[in-house]
Structure 1
Amino acid sequence: MTHVVTDNCEQCRYTECVTVCPVACFRGDGERLFIDPDLCVDCGACVPMCPVHAIVDSFDLEDDQQIWIGVNQRRAKELPTVRDRSAPLPTAPDRRAALGY
């Protein structure tokens, strides 16, 4: 399996993770990021880069988070690659605080 982006990314869209991805597997829309499971090599370099702990190894997902495997797979097919760091959403600091990070 691969890593997935969970709902912690919503209202944040921090992009530090894309800068360390060796295979450019991140896809994104205006609200959040997703990981293309067909490209992810499961290196884990992105995990410590996410300030809201949104990236998780699919094996470590809780039962109620399993939905994110399919969501990442589906949305990755629809969205463009994100390779460059950009400013997070204006709501990111409040979302980060609400998540306790």
Structure 2
Amino acid sequence: MAYVVTDACLDILDRSCVEECPVDCIYQGDRMMYIHPDECVDCGKCMPACPSDAIHWEHKLPEEAVPFKEAAVEFFDEHPDAAGGATPRGPVGVDHALVDGRRTDRAE
């Protein structure tokens, strides 16, 4: 794993990160994006592309965002069909349990 999407992406789904990713490893859940830990090549192009500063290098995650690192791993363990490129797969349509219970000011 190299980069992690945190809750700053929740209910935004801007997808600017997807447009910058050269290996198509950023998958769409229901309410946020997830970076596949085994597909990410650590290029870093996604981080500055994110308008909400939701993407962090795994080794410099803010303390409150550390659970999102494990959530990304578990998300892809739970959805093995989310592999081999996000574009052909399309949205996964569900989120990790960590995301399911979270509320944001942006949520309807």
State the TM-score, normalized to the length of structure 2: 0.70
Quote the sequence identity (%). 34
1:63 Cα offset (Å) = 2.1
Shift of 1:70: 0.7
Q: Spell out, residue by residue over 1:48-76, the C-alpha distance to the aligned partner (whole angstroms, 9 max, x if none).
A: 11100000001111222111111111213
More relative contact order, 1 or 2 (CA 8 Å, 6+ apart): 1
The answer for the alignment partner of 1:99 in structure 2 is none
Q: Which residue of 1 aligns with 2:100?
A: none
Amino acid at match of 2:3: H
Match of 2:27 in 1: 27
Query: Pairwise CA RMSD of aligned residues?
Result: 2.0
Q: How far has the Cα of 1:3 moved from its partner?
A: 0.3
| Residues 35, 76 of structure 1: 8 Å contact kept | no
Q: Give per-residue Cα distances to partners, 1:2-43, cap 9 Å, x unaligned.
A: 000000000101101101111111111221100001010110
1:83 to 84, 87, 95: 87
In the other structure, the counterpart of 2:96 is: none
Structure 2 matches for 1:64-75, cutoff 5 A? 64-75=64-75
Equivalent in the alignment of 2:13: 13
- Say whether the 8 Å CA contact 1:21–1:45 is kept in structure 2: yes
List structure 1 runs of 4+ shifted beyond 6 angstroms.
none
TM-score by length of 1: 0.74
Q: Distance in 2 between matches of 1:68 and 1:31?
A: 14
Between Structure 1 and Structure 2, how many residues are aligned?
86
